[in-house]
Amino acid sequence: MPASGDSPRRRSKKGLVWGIVAGVVLLFIIIGNLGGGGDSETPVADVEPSAPAAGAPAQPEPVAPAPEPAVAVIGSPVRDGKFEFTVTSVERVGPTIGEGFTEETAQGEYLVVRLNVTNIGDEPQMLSTGGQVLYNDKGQKYEPSSDALFSLEGASDFFLEDINPGNTIVGAPLLFDVPPGTVLDRIELHDSLFSGGVDVSIAGS
């Protein structure tokens, strides 16, 4: 009767097979540990902040408007064309002017503006009442009373006469007929009817 169980030879073959299998498994485990060895984080490069993008060109600073030239006042010389004017006085002379047959009566009251006038040009220039304009505080304008002007003593010495280059006439009068109590603002002076003119403040006179 044969003996039960595996023979020693068969058991040795089985042991060999299991040994080989175990060795292969162990080999794979070793290779896996050497190759991967657990999860490793991929290093992340530090990202430097990017330089700020060049912005739009800087807007130029707004240019402040040039200040308006100060208006001249009584006693300040101003120039228009070939003449330099200096207003020396403003006088309210009342409703009449002159005496006797030269007397003139105003619609309102007479006002006399006196000037010094210098010829700053290169040739003779005539001083005229034409173009000279008086303004009140409401912007209303008044022209000289040319007919009554010559009732002022000495007025004929100044007007319709040439002023030579470099010469000055002193105290030339401009006569205006204005409502009584008119609040004055300025006078606009011209060397001729066609010049640009220049303002002199007579406010408060």
| Distance of alpha carbon 130 from alpha carbon 127, whole angstroms | 9
CA neighbor of 125 nearest in space, from 66, 86, 167: 167
- Per-residue pLDDT averaged across 18-42, rounded? 64
pLDDT of residue 81: 94
Range of the domain at 151: 72-201
Residue 146 main-chain phi, psi, to 5 deg: -65, -35
* Residues present in the chain in total: 205
Region of 38 please: left (phi>0), alpha (psi -120 to 50) or beta.
left
- pLDDT of 44 > 70? The answer is no
Helix extents (H) in the chain? 8-35, 146-149
Does position 45 have pLDDT exceeding 70, yes or no? no
Q: Which amino acid is at 66?
A: A
CB 202 within 8 Å of CB 74: yes
Based on the structure, what is the number of domains in the chain?
Answer: 1
pLDDT grade, residue 49 (50/70/90)?
low
In a domain, 44, yes or no: no
The token pair that represents 112 in the structure block: 């006399």
The answer to whether residue 83 sits within a structural domain is: yes
Least confident of 10-19, 63-72, 115-124, 166-175: 10-19
Task: Give the mean model confidence (pLDDT) for residues 130-151.
Answer: 91
Q: Domain for residue 148, yes or no?
A: yes
pLDDT of residue 90 exceeding 60: yes
CB 111 within 8 A of CB 202: no
Question: What pLDDT, on the 0 to 100 scale, is given for residue 200?
Answer: 97
Rounded to 5°, the CA angle 156-111-85 comes to 60
Cα 141 from Cα 182, distance rounded (Å): 11
User: Within a domain: residue 132?
Assistant: yes
DSSP 140: -
* CATH number of 117's domain: 2.60.40.1240
Name residue 9's amino acid: R
Average pLDDT, the chain: 82
Structural domain contains residue 27: no
- Say if 101 falls within a structural domain: yes
In a domain, residue 111? The reply is yes
What is the Cα 68 distance to its own chain's centre? 10
Residue 52: per-residue pLDDT: 55
Ramachandran quadrant class, 7 (left: phi over 0; alpha: psi -120 to 50; beta: rest): beta
Whether 80 and 143 have beta carbons less than 8 Å apart is answered as no
- Whether residue 22 is contained in a domain is answered as no
101: helix, strand or coil: helix
For the four alpha carbons of 12, 13, 14 and 19, in that order, the dihedral sign comes to positive
The predicted pLDDT at position 46 comes to: 59
